[in-house]
Structure 1
């Protein structure tokens, strides 16, 4: 039946990245300041995710995967914005080594809020199976030890032009590097297929990047029986 299909299905939720990108672009351009503080902005986005989870639960969805936000402060576009800001101020840049930690701090705050609220929601809705996947920590592990995972370039986009491949975005395959498997980033804000494959494998089985998804892996979530509690009328 349709009800069994809904309850036995797994729903994938991922949003918030574009909201942060828009916020940082407006800040970088000197546009009007947002109506929220950084912490309030993170809280608003986390609350929206929880609201969506509750709505799905009310529609009898019981198994959900919620994705955190990747380390935007390490993306090529954010590195370029920092480089341009430092150049205008006459400050020395570190040539792209390291990430923009102010940005990562806010993203980490959002991920922490979301993870904590999901944990509380699991206690409130015991027949719901909600998994939080922390792609932020996964990508940071890769960036901190790229050679271990087979990567060479942790700064520049494979597809793009200019410094960090971020001055002009990915327009066509002609602007792409020859070996995207050596890069962490594909374009201004998105990882390469090689990184996404590592994240997917780790989310599924817990390896090679441990505890990407909590409290269980997606494989374990799929193998568990779907909740069969009576449905309130």
Structure 2
């Protein structure tokens, strides 16, 4: 091992074993892009001109059939939120983003695009900016906002060892603030119409396993069986989706959990001999997806006018693993960037850790897929191009119904 590589290992070990840098003030304090001395972003100032009425032709022309894409979740869809937080979960340096449109890191935990980038293109929308990184004007939010935060979970304390993150409940609160600002700017009816015609994409829950249940935080495994834990997560998800419904949200895409038992980190941790997945972890994930799909089905029956689709990421990802050659992948177990067996021991912290070409890899780092996989997942969400993974229908069909 070269001296340069030894130095990288040593620095990474320091980063990931040192005491937590911050106090989890987010547990008791709302995170907003507008206040603050902590985040140097201009505050929102209500416009001096009178609000546009809901009947204004100017407002109507701004809102096509799908006016906006709003995103909630974790590192699978974070596009820069954590760049503004005190956390170890950051993707603000190369090699992250090296294959992105700008070839620069943006906060996306990928070599390139994340699924919502591909879906934004399908919807005829620009890439959705992060809530903490947008310009601070409500007009900048008319085509969507991304509230996702790496390390976040459905459970408030999931991912706390990484530092600050915006939990799912707090992301919902941020959207409610956004909605109220819209009402102040364009009126209630126009705001209702914008929100009810927009798409809301939700990808969260995996950190409740990675950073909570599997790590047995607060002795949770002795308090909850996997089945009871899954029901607990689904119950919380149910309440948050109803909160969105109560503020006029109607079109929702709920993403299931991926097969993290096949992720390079767990292949390394469980000492997989030939790349076999950790089945005990995948079994819990499949069970969680079953419960969440049932919850979505119940909500569709209960909430009048709601159109919620559930997309089984596990099903799509396993099809890619099983038929990887058909999809053009030749490296299915080893990450492109990292150190150790399967490159799952240490995370991606330096360009020297990364492979030269990620196109043949399924995994970018310890937990996240490459943008080639994200493109396939987005295609499946949109129209089931490769696998019919969304129920009761795909996004394209939902929007045309």
TM class, shorter-length: 0.7 to 0.9
1:33 equivalenced with 2:219 (yes/no)? yes
Structural mapping, 1:118-157, within 5 Å: 118-157=296-335
Structural mapping, 1:72-91, within 5 Å: 72-83=260-271
Counterpart CA distance in 2 for 1:15 and 1:45 is 10
1:52 equivalenced with 2:231 (yes/no)? no
The CA deviation at 1:131 is: 0.5
Counterpart CA distance in 1 for 2:255 and 2:322 is 21
The CA deviation at 1:12 is: 1.1
- In the alignment, is the contact (CA less than 8 A) between 1:26 and 1:32 conserved in 2? no
Residue of structure 2 equivalent to 1:16: 205
Residue of structure 1 equivalent to 2:288: 110
- In the alignment, is the contact (CA less than 8 A) between 1:71 and 1:107 conserved in 2? yes
The CA deviation at 1:44 is: 1.2
Counterpart CA distance in 1 for 2:363 and 2:336 is 6
Q: Under a length normalisation based on structure 2, what TM-score does the superposition of the two structures give?
A: 0.51
- Which deviates the most, 189-198 or 170-179? 170-179
The CA deviation at 1:25 is: 5.3
Greater fraction of residues in strand: 1
1:66 equivalenced with 2:257 (yes/no)? no
Greater fraction of residues in helix: 1
- Aligned pair count reads 210
Deviations 1:102-129 (A, max 9, x none): 1000011110000011111111224110
1:220 equivalenced with 2:394 (yes/no)? no
The CA deviation at 1:32 is: 5.6
Q: Which has the higher contact order (CA 8 A, sep 6+)?
A: 1
**Secondary structure at 2:366's aligned position in 1?**
coil
The CA deviation at 1:74 is: 0.4
Residue of structure 2 equivalent to 1:87: none
Residue of structure 2 equivalent to 1:90: none
**Secondary structure at 2:305's aligned position in 1?**
coil
1:202 equivalenced with 2:388 (yes/no)? no
- In the alignment, is the contact (CA less than 8 A) between 2:383 and 2:395 conserved in 1? yes
Counterpart CA distance in 2 for 1:9 and 1:138 is 25
- In the alignment, is the contact (CA less than 8 A) between 2:313 and 2:389 conserved in 1? yes
Q: For the aligned residues, what is the CA RMSD?
A: 1.5
Residue of structure 2 equivalent to 1:178: 356
- In the alignment, is the contact (CA less than 8 A) between 2:269 and 2:345 conserved in 1? no
Q: Under a length normalisation based on structure 1, what TM-score does the superposition of the two structures give?
A: 0.86
Which structure has the larger Rg? 2
Unaligned runs of 5+ in 1: 84-92, 225-233
Counterpart CA distance in 2 for 1:26 and 1:57 is 33
